[in-house]
Amino acid sequence: MSQSELLRFVKELLESLGIEYMLTGSLVSSALGEPRLTHDIDILIAVDQAAVERITAGFNPDEFYWSAVAARSAVAGRRMFNVLRTSTGQKIDFYVLPDDAFEQARFARRKPLEVDGVEIMAATAEDIILGKLNWARQLGHSERQFQDALRVYEVNAARLDREYMAAWVERLGLQAIWNRLLQSAEPFNAR
């Protein structure tokens, strides 16, 4: 199963169960910015305990590994659990939607996006940039996260909702890393 096929499988599973979701992370930043190799599928899901049981039941235990205890714990603590495809090492990271203003706002703004030939609900360019900058700062100034944010900014600069971004830059305390991004950026429409 290719990454695209796995992505389609996960999308169809979540939609068949009526679970609201949002693709995020490096698959989205690659689709909106500069493509790069990633083996993880990062999905934010709005679930309760019963829903997470239905999700994990959709993965054949002969092909996938997950911990039911970790999944239940993730829902209770609004954290992450993963499902691993044992034959390939492909990983799906399911992030349970936390009670956090930024995560709630970006989840509400999700839009359809074609990723690897799959139309899927995904984070917007603005929210990928903000999320990657926030991760970069939290991870001790991760250059990979910063570069992902920079490339998404450069490709989408002309279409970004700057008022929305400015408000969240301030609320999240991202001024320093945001200023670095603006100083480093060479938007495609300016090249």
Range name among 63-67, 178-182, 183-187 with the lowest pLDDT average: 183-187
- Closest to 27 in 3D by CA, of 2, 60, 55: 2
pLDDT band at 143 (very low <50, low <70, confident <90, very high): confident
Backbone φ and ψ of 185, nearest 5° = -70, 140
The label of the residue with tokens 């939609």 reads 15
Q: What is the mean pLDDT of residues 137-158?
A: 88
**pTM assigned to the model:** 0.89
- Closest to 41 in 3D by CA, of 78, 89, 87: 89
What is the rounded distance in angstroms from the CA atom of residue 150 to the CA atom of residue 158?
14
pLDDT at residue 189, rounded to an integer? 63
- Reply yes or no on whether the pLDDT at 191 is more than 50: no
Q: Are 55 and 66 in contact (CB under 8 A)?
A: no
Q: State the burial class of residue 53 (Cβ atoms within 10 Å of its Cβ: 0-12, 13-18, 19+).
A: middle
pLDDT at residue 181, rounded to an integer? 95
Range name among 15-24, 80-89, 131-140 with the lowest pLDDT average: 131-140
pLDDT above 70 covers a percentage of the chain that reads 97
Domain boundaries, the chain: 3-123, 126-190
Between these two residues, 12 and 138, which has the higher pLDDT value? 12
Q: How many CA atoms lie within 13 A of 85 on its CB side?
A: 17
pLDDT band at 184 (very low <50, low <70, confident <90, very high): very high
pLDDT at residue 1, rounded to an integer? 76
pLDDT tens digits along 22-76: 999 989 999 999 887 777 899 999 988 888 888 988 999 999 999 989 998 999 9
What is the rounded distance in angstroms from the CA atom of residue 127 to the CA atom of residue 119?
18
Q: What is the mean pLDDT of residues 170-174?
A: 96
What is the rounded distance in angstroms from the CA atom of residue 123 to the CA atom of residue 102?
12
Sheet order of strands, 111-115 included: 64-65, 80-85, 91-96, 40-45, 21-24, 118-122, 111-115
Q: Are 13 and 112 in contact (CB under 8 A)?
A: no
Q: Are 23 and 136 in contact (CB under 8 A)?
A: no
Q: What is the mean pLDDT of residues 99-106?
A: 94
pLDDT at residue 14, rounded to an integer? 96
- Reply yes or no on whether the pLDDT at 141 is more than 70: no
Identify the CATH class of 3-123: alpha beta
